[in-house]
Chain A
Amino acid sequence: MFQEGDKYYAVKGLDKTIIEETGVTQLEKYENFHALKLEFGSELKGTEVFCFTYGPTAGGLTESIGFDVYTYGERILRVIPKPLYKNRNIKISGLNVSDALLRFERYNAVFSSSYSIAFLRCAERIVGLDVEQDVQLLRIVMLELERISHHLYVLGRLSEAASQNVATANLFALRETVLRLISKHFGHRYFFGINGLAAISRDVDVGGLGNEIKSLSREFMVLWDMLSESRIFVDRLQTTCIAKQPWMVGPALRAAGHNHDTRESDHSLPYKDVYFEVQTHGDGDSLGRAIVRANELLESAQIIQQITDKLKLVKKRRIILDASCDGGAICRLESPSGDLLILIKLSGGKLSNIYLRSPSKANLLGFVNGISSNVFTDFHFAWESFGFWVSELGDIL
């Protein structure tokens, strides 16, 4: 669901392509209505039930977030996340496209190219700009590199939580190799400053990248085969935090057996020009989410190879936005953790209205529902398997 002025819209269907105008009363009937507003229920009372707080700052958490954990002992009865400790209240209204782009890149740096490309696609639609094919293909390369880097990070965190230290070291070393490849070809490890309106801001040579990624994916396959045979790793993830709700997005949705990937259903980028298979799993547990990520990583490597077989040097170009443009547009894009949705309105070349639904926001209730009845030591497997980023739960104003 999203709000535009005083009107409310519901986004429906498994491929989330049906957008209907509705009212608050109708929206309240949806299970995830309050979760999308980051409201997760009230305190739990009962015989010997008590609550303890985990976070907002703790060694096991990459980012600052608080959790109220209700329990009567080892078993988790309810978790209420408090995700707004590090809310930066990023103000974008009133800015022009290039200044807003700097904020979108840094909203969640781990998905920087996803956010910047989704935002730019909105602006390009409003202005009616055609994006040249080489820039569009380069955008796909960026998104898939981001996916590989992120999936390696998530798998590394899961492996670390299962005390698989050799696997963890090697997965993080592989991730570092990906970041170095990104910096070698794009000049920045998180794609800051690369994307522009229907353009890129510096020359990018992706020659050789296909072979570099091919050798990396081979190394990953050996590692993943060994890790999947570790009973310790598998036992810790299997049946942990089962979540199968159809309103989730990304690997979490696909791990629940739903065959949906925004790369197939949305045509913002020419994914139809490359071959890839949507990866699914049926169990909806932490292991299922890890398997989907591992398989997607290999698919992403193949997509990059297909593109870099044809694409070599993409020359920089700059397009300045006409200051008088007006209109609104919506864009959805498959980030590493799933479908993100951005809606913007421009008025006189400045942003007047923004709505953003991040994959972390879409999936957080899945975690909250799934973690109930698990035990404390399952917590990190559950949390990391969703690939959550707290920064993208914050407000964009």
Chain B
Amino acid sequence: MKNWFVYGIKKGVVTTKYPSGKAEDVAAWSTKPVRVSGGQVDCPTSAICGGDVNMAKCICCGRCSDSFAPNDVVELAEVRMNNSSFKRSFHIYILDAGSCGACNLEVQALGNPLYDLNRLGIFFTNTPRHADALLVVGVVADAMRDVLVETYEAIPEPKLVFAVGSCASSGTLFGLSVTKVLKTDIIVPGCPPNPYTILDALIRAKGGVK
């Protein structure tokens, strides 16, 4: 078989039905841990307060696994502001302010055929001038602070800012969160967030499916 077309046809449709269908094959430890038994937990980022877990601080290290178990729910994002004028066409500019690489790859994964974000009217763009939203991954490294602000200013109004991953949301173990530098509209927690969690946040930020 040497024909890409035939190869593609034989392969069939592999794209998820999410959000109308269920999220498949979700990594358990990218979702919120909930308490299942008593006992003291030594959380390295102080994400656990009483019986609840602050997901913006959680680094999915699993140290709480004797008392907590993940709940497999992917809709974790906190959407503080949305804009339905982006409902049909939503262009995203990704900025790595100081990440370990995992959040970058989980955002990029949305372009693969299993998620195919283009079907939902969401696109990555290569320049902030064409973007409707800035999606920041990682903590804000010292040398990236000015770059971050300049990139934000280059995006035309109206615009939204996403903090993707626990580092961008709270700084975790590594430094300054983007929320301390820019007014952030959408917090997408997780270390790294599951692609479904990021997809859900993007859909809600643009006011739903077109």
Contacts and interface: CB of A to CB of B under 8 A. Distances in A.
B200 interface: no
B61 A169 contact: no
B143 interface: yes
A60 B126 contact: yes
Given A109-B192, A173-B14, A193-B63, A86 B105 contact: no
Contact of A106 (B7, B27, B141, B173): B173
Interface string A54-84: 0011111011100000000000000000001
A119 interface: no
Contacts of A56: 143-144, 147
Interface stretch (B48-56, B78-86, B93-101, B181-189): B93-101
Nearest to B139: A88
- Tell me whether chain B's interface is mostly helix, strand or loop, or mixed: loop
A169 B98 contact: no
Contact of A86 (B11, B93, B125, B141): B141
B102 A109 contact: yes
Interface in A171-200: 172-173, 175-176, 179-180, 183-184, 187-190, 192-194
Given A59-B124, A86-B144, A108-B100, A102 B59 contact: yes
A86 B27 contact: no
Nearest to A174: B112
Interface string A149-164: 0000100000000000
A110 interface: yes
Contacts of A192: 29, 59-62, 191
Contacts of B11: 170
A84 B143 contact: yes
A62 B141 contact: no
Contacts of A170: 7, 11, 113
Contacts of A63: 96, 99, 101, 104
Nearest to B3: A226
Contacts of B138: 86, 88
B25 A86 contact: no
B99 A391 contact: yes
B174 interface: yes
Given A56-B144, A109-B101, A176-B109, A193 B61 contact: yes
A176 B102 contact: no
Interface in B98-132: 98-102, 104-106, 108-109, 111-115, 124-127
Interface residues of B, number: 57
A226 B174 CA distance: 43
Given A86-B98, A90-B174, A106-B174, A193 B62 contact: yes
Interface residues of A, number: 51
Given A64-B97, A172-B109, A189 B27 contact: yes
A106 B99 CA distance: 9
B192 to A, nearest CB: 7
Given A59-B125, A192-B59, A180 B101 contact: no
Interface of A: 56-60, 62-64, 84-88, 90, 99, 102-103, 106-110, 112, 153, 166-167, 169-170, 172-173, 175-176, 179-180, 183-184, 187-190, 192-194, 201-202, 222-223, 226, 229, 389, 391
Interface of B: 1-2, 4, 7-8, 11, 14, 25-30, 44, 59-63, 65, 93, 95-102, 104-106, 108-109, 111-115, 124-127, 138-139, 141-144, 147, 151, 173-175, 191-192, 194
18 contacts: A56-B144, A60-B126, A62-B96, A63-B99, A63-B101, A64-B95, A90-B174, A109-B105, A169-B113, A170-B113, A172-B109, A173-B14, A187-B29, A189-B102, A190-B192, A192-B29, A194-B62, A226-B2
